Amino acid sequence: MSEPQATHLKDYLPPAYRVTHTELKFDLAPSATTVTARLHVERHPEREAGLPLRFAGDKLSLVRIAVDGQTLEADEYEVDDEGLTIPSVPERFLLDTEVSIDPAANTALEGLYVSSGMFCTQCEPQGFRRITFYPDRPDVMATFSTTVVGDKTEAPVLLSNGNPVESGELPGGRHFVTWEDPHPKPSYLFALVAGKLEKVEDRFTTMSGRDVTLQIWVEPENLDKTDHAMASLKRAMRWDEETYGREYDLDRFMIVAVNDFNMGAMENKGLNIFNSAAVLTHPQTATDAAFQSVEGIVAHEYFHNWSGNRVTCRDWFQLSLKEGFTVFRDQSFSADINSAPVKRIEDVSFFRTAQFAEDAGPTAHPVRPDHYIEISNFYTLTIYEKGAEIVRMLRHLLGWETFRQGSDLYFARFDGQAVTIEDFVDCMAEVSGLDLSQFMRWYSQAGTPEIDAHGEYDYAKCEYHLRLSQRTPPTPGQAEKQPLHIPVRMGLVGTKSGNDMALTLDGESLGHETVLHLRDTEQTYVFTGIDEAPTPSLLRGFSAPVYLRYPYSREELSFLLTHDADDFNRWDAGQRLTMLALDDLIAAHRNGVEKVMDSRVIDAYRRLLTTETDDKAVLAEMLTLPSEAYIAEQQPMVDVDAIHAARVFVKQSLATALRDEFLAMHEAHRSDEPYAPEPDQIARRRVKNVALEYLMSIEDEEGVALAEAQVDAEDNMTDVRAALTMLVHSSRSDIAEPALKAFGEKWAHDPLVMNQWFTIQVTRPQEDVLERVKYLMAHPLFSLKNPNKVRALIGAFAAQNRVNFHRLDGEGYRLLADVVIELNRLNPEIAARIITPLTRWQRFDEQRQALMKAELERIRAEELSPNVFEMVERALA
Binding residues for ligand PHE, rule: CB under 6 A, are 122, 124, 262-263, 265-267, 300-301, 323, 379
Q: Apex CA 341: angle with CA 617 and CA 752, to 5°?
A: 60
Distance CA 246, CA 415 (A): 12
Distance CA 836, CA 871 (A): 8
Cα(first)–Cα(last) distance of the chain, in Å?
21
Nearest-CB residue to ligand PHE?
263
CB of 271 to ligand PHE, least distance (A): 13
Site residues (CB under 5 A) for Zn ion, limited to 319-338 = 323, 326
CB count in 10 Å sphere of residue 286 = 25
Tell me how far CA of residue 628 lies from CA of 342, 367, 638, 804, 834, in angstroms. 20, 26, 10, 13, 19
* Binding partner of 122, given Zn ion, ligand PHE, none, CB within 5-8 angstroms per partner class: ligand PHE
CB of 106 to ligand PHE, least distance (A): 14
Nearer to ligand PHE, 266 or 777 (CB): 266
> DSSP secondary-structure letter at 189?
G
Applying CB under 5 A, which part among 316-324, 629-637, 649-657, 777-785 lies near Zn ion? 316-324
Closest CA to 661 of 625, 723, 611, 711: 611
The alpha carbon of 697 is separated from its chain's Cα centroid by a whole number of angstroms, namely 30
Nearer to ligand PHE, 267 or 500 (CB): 267
Applying CB under 5 A, which part among 16-24, 318-326, 447-455, 523-531 lies near Zn ion? 318-326
Q: Please confirm, yes or no, whether 301 is among the known catalytic residues.
A: yes
CB of 322 to ligand PHE, least distance (A): 8
* Binding partner of 290, given ligand PHE, Zn ion, none, CB within 5-8 angstroms per partner class: none
CB of 314 to Zn ion, least distance (A): 17
* Binding partner of 514, given ligand PHE, Zn ion, none, CB within 5-8 angstroms per partner class: none
CB count in 10 Å sphere of residue 831 = 25
Distance CA 820, CA 868 (A): 8
CB of 510 to Zn ion, least distance (A): 37
> DSSP secondary-structure letter at 370?
S
Nearer to Zn ion, 323 or 389 (CB): 323
* Binding partner of 770, given ligand PHE, Zn ion, none, CB within 5-8 angstroms per partner class: none
Closest CA to 797 of 823, 772, 822: 772
Nearer to Zn ion, 323 or 628 (CB): 323
Site string for Zn ion, 380-419 (x = CB under 5 A): ----------------------------------------
Site residues (CB under 5 A) for Zn ion, limited to 172-201 = none
- Percent of the chain that is helix, strand, coil (3-state, to 5): 45, 20, 35
CB of 829 to ligand PHE, least distance (A): 8
Distance CA 193, CA 119 (A): 5
Nearer to Zn ion, 139 or 323 (CB): 323
Which residues on neighbouring strands pair with residue 217, listed in sequence order?
199, 256
Nearer to ligand PHE, 301 or 500 (CB): 301
* Binding partner of 263, given Zn ion, ligand PHE, none, CB within 5-8 angstroms per partner class: ligand PHE
Nearer to ligand PHE, 376 or 824 (CB): 376
Nearer to Zn ion, 266 or 640 (CB): 266
812 close to 798: Cβ distance less than 8 angstroms: yes
The H or E element containing residue 709 is helix 701-710
CB of 327 to Zn ion, least distance (A): 7
The H or E element containing residue 751 is helix 751-762
305 close to 288: Cβ distance less than 8 angstroms: no
Residues 6 or more apart whose CB falls under 8 angstroms from that of 581 comprise 597, 598, 600, 601, 650
Binding footprint of Zn ion, residue count (CB under 5 A): 2
Nearer to Zn ion, 316 or 649 (CB): 316
Tell me how far CA of residue 744 lies from CA of 210, 235, 757, 759, 773, in angstroms. 47, 35, 7, 12, 15
* Binding partner of 331, given ligand PHE, Zn ion, none, CB within 5-8 angstroms per partner class: none
* Binding partner of 379, given ligand PHE, Zn ion, none, CB within 5-8 angstroms per partner class: ligand PHE
* Binding partner of 681, given ligand PHE, Zn ion, none, CB within 5-8 angstroms per partner class: none
CB of 267 to ligand PHE, least distance (A): 5
Give the active site residue among 110, 295, 301, 693. 301
171 close to 249: Cβ distance less than 8 angstroms: no
Distance CA 767, CA 746 (A): 28
CB of 263 to ligand PHE, least distance (A): 4
Burial category of 838 from C-beta neighbours within 10 Å (exposed 0-12, middle 13-18, buried 19 and up): buried
Nearer to Zn ion, 312 or 755 (CB): 312
* Binding partner of 124, given ligand PHE, Zn ion, none, CB within 5-8 angstroms per partner class: ligand PHE
Closest CA to 101 of 125, 71, 121: 121
The H or E element containing residue 774 is helix 769-777
The H or E element containing residue 271 is strand 271-275
Q: Which amino acid is residue 562, in one-letter code?
A: T
Q: Tell me the DSSP string of 64-91.
A: EEEETTEEPPGGG-EEETTEEEES---S
CB of 351 to Zn ion, least distance (A): 16
Residues 6 or more apart whose CB falls under 8 angstroms from that of 16 comprise 43, 44, 47, 51, 52, 53, 54
* Binding partner of 414, given Zn ion, ligand PHE, none, CB within 5-8 angstroms per partner class: none
Nearer to Zn ion, 188 or 797 (CB): 188
CB of 366 to ligand PHE, least distance (A): 19
Q: Which amino acid is residue 359, in one-letter code?
A: D
Catalytic residue numbers, as ranges? 301
By CB under 5 A, name the binding residues for Zn ion.
323, 326
